[in-house]
């Protein structure tokens, strides 16, 4: 069996697609890009990022005792942490109100600021201190007993300080708190205010994972918001971070597959990967954009995206063609593309000299695009209708060509676009408002001359063409 076949089989044995539904990640999957270190530190109350960049992953990882020990090596402040889930979108009403409960509380004019403080109180103080039968009962008691609230929290704060511990309350998936923007804005703004309130207790910290489009609204227009904004951390992935993550996953493959991939690593780097507490780790030169990191991907995919240098280099091509309109590539998209490339290579090019054939990498981009289209349609149901109307267009194209397609499909204007949750934010401003929403989400790019372009990540999945680009699925 050739080395290429062995490497391909080893890649296919791994669950490379990165989707987190609150499950505890496996230790070998944990990779901390340097840019994410700030997000993991106690003083980062606000963590902002787009779809698939790791918000839910870090929420789950921080709740794992075993993974916190690994995280603590990079962020020592998290070693003596007690973690509480303030909201995760999983509907666990004993921990926090779900969408239906929030709607009922808002309908009776409860301030989300009070609701979130009541959530924090129930999590941080001892059982029996606060009424817990219903959230309405807890919120009512909270508002009517400010001195008792402070006394309970001060006592819990002091006990945690004496034990040398810190308490972190995590909030994720906040788009699941409401199906309309106005209510969600109120809920998120109330949470940010509550996070500032919690800062008065030295041992307690809030950590809020917020989607970029939520953050860019008016949720920070309240007094002292600047204190919270100063703690903000952005979750983003540079090209070298994505390649580092890939090899972290590969090195920790099980059984003989792991041995095969670690030997491939050794043959390039010149030394075996480090092993710490049973986890294989990259050397620093394999985490940065160095000749060694480029050579590692070349070991899998060869030097060119064709028969010579004119077609590009797989190391850069694979990441660049997965970027959204903001230039950001998510780990979920990259890992999905690599996995599909390995599968396609096994099926179509089993005798190829490398594990990943360059044409299979192109098809991997197509698969990642299809996955991304499904994901964005979950978050914004209206997007699929709007962008599917452009199928068959070749980009870049004139804005009028896009407008004509939209007007033909939605003769009533943007208000006629059906959406059962979180409709376009600026639909009231007409088609130009919709265009702005798509641009802000990274789904389209508006050229300096006004033409509309679409990154391959979405273009392929929505069936648009580009001269010389990856072709949509036929």
pLDDT digits (tens, 9 = 90+) for 315-354: 999 999 999 988 889 998 999 999 999 999 999 999 999 9
pLDDT digits (tens, 9 = 90+) for 366-386: 989 988 888 888 888 899 999
DSSP-derived 3-state class of residue 26: coil
pLDDT digits (tens, 9 = 90+) for 270-287: 999 999 888 899 999 999
List of domains in the chain: 3-13+238-375 (no CATH), 34-234 (3.40.50), 380-462 (1.10.10)
Q: Which helix (H) or strand (E) holds 169?
A: strand 166-171
What value, to the nearest 5°, has the Cα angle with vertex 400 and ends 399 and 401? 90
pLDDT at 1: 46
Residue ranges with strand state E in 269-332 = 274-276, 279-281
pLDDT digits (tens, 9 = 90+) for 218-245: 788 898 999 999 999 999 999 999 999 9
The tally of CA atoms less than 13 A away on the side-chain side of residue 114 is 18
Rounded average pLDDT over 296-314: 90
pLDDT at 131: 93
260 pLDDT tier (thresholds 50, 70, 90): very high
pLDDT at 65: 84
pLDDT at 77: 83
Task: Using a pLDDT cut of 70, give the percent of the chain over it.
Answer: 97
pLDDT digits (tens, 9 = 90+) for 94-127: 889 999 999 999 999 999 999 999 999 999 998 8
pLDDT digits (tens, 9 = 90+) for 144-192: 999 999 999 999 999 999 999 999 999 999 989 998 888 999 999 999 9
DSSP-derived 3-state class of residue 93: coil
Angstrom distance (rounded) from CA 124 to CA 157: 9
Contact 339, 12 (CB under 8 A): yes
pTM: 0.89
Nearest to 382 by CA among 413, 409, 422: 422
User: Encoding tokens for residue 332?
Assistant: 């979920």
pLDDT digits (tens, 9 = 90+) for 5-58: 999 999 998 876 555 555 678 888 889 998 898 899 889 999 999 888 889 899
Angstrom distance (rounded) from CA 138 to CA 391: 51
């Amino acid at each position: 069996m050739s080395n290429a076949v062995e490497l391909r089989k080893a890649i296919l044995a791994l669950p490379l697609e990165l989707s987190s539904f609150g499950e505890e990640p496996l230790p070998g999957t944990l990779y901390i890009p340097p840019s994410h270190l700030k997000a993991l530190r106690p003083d980062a109350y606000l963590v902002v990022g787009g779809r698939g960049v790791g918000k839910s992953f870090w929420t789950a990882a921080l709740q794992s005792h075993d993974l916190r020990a690994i995280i603590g090596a990079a962020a020592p402040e998290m070693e003596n942490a007690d973690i509480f889930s303030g909201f995760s979108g999983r509907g666990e009403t004993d921990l926090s109100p779900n969408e239906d409960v929030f709607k009922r509380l808002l309908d009776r004019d409860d301030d989300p600021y009070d609701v979130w403080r009541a959530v924090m109180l129930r999590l941080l103080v001892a059982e029996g201190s606060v009424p817990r039968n219903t959230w309405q009962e807890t919120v009512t008691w909270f508002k009517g007993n400010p001195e008792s609230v402070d006394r309970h929290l001060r006592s819990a704060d002091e006990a945690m300080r004496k034990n040398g511990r810190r308490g972190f309350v995590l909030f994720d998936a906040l788009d699941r708190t409401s199906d309309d923007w106005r209510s969600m804005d109120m809920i998120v703004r109330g949470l940010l205010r509550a996070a500032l309130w919690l800062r008065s207790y030295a041992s307690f910290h809030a950590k809020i994972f917020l989607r970029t489009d939520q953050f860019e609204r008016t949720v920070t227009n309240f007094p002292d918001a600047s204190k919270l904004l100063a703690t903000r951390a952005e979750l983003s992935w540079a090209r070298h971070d994505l390649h580092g993550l890939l090899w972290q996953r590969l090195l920790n493959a099980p059984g003989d597959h792991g041995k095969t991939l670690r030997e491939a690593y050794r043959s390039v780097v010149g030394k075996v990967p480090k092993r710490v507490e049973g986890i294989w780790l990259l050397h620093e030169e394999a985490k940065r954009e160095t000749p060694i990191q480029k050579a590692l991907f070349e070991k899998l995919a060869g030097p060119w995206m064709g028969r010579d240098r004119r077609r590009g280099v797989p190391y850069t091509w694979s990441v660049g063609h997965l970027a959204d309109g903001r230039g950001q590539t998510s780990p979920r998209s990259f890992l999905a593309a690599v996995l599909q490339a390995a599968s396609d290579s096994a099926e179509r090019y089993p005798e190829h000299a490398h594990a990943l054939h360059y044409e299979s990498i192109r098809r991997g981009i197509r698969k990642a695009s299809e996955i991304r289209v499904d994901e964005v349609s979950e978050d914004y149901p209206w997007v699929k209708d709007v962008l599917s109307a452009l199928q068959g267009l070749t980009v870049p194209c004139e804005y009028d060509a896009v407008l004509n397609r939209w007007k033909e499909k939605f003769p009533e204007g943007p208000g006629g676009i059906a959406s059962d949750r979180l409709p376009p934010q600026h639909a009231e401003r007409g088609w130009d408002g919709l265009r702005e929403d798509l641009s802000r989400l990274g789904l389209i790019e508006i050229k300096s001359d006004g033409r509309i372009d679409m990154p391959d990540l979405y273009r392929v999945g929505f069936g648009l063409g580009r001269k010389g680009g990856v072709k949509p699925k036929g």
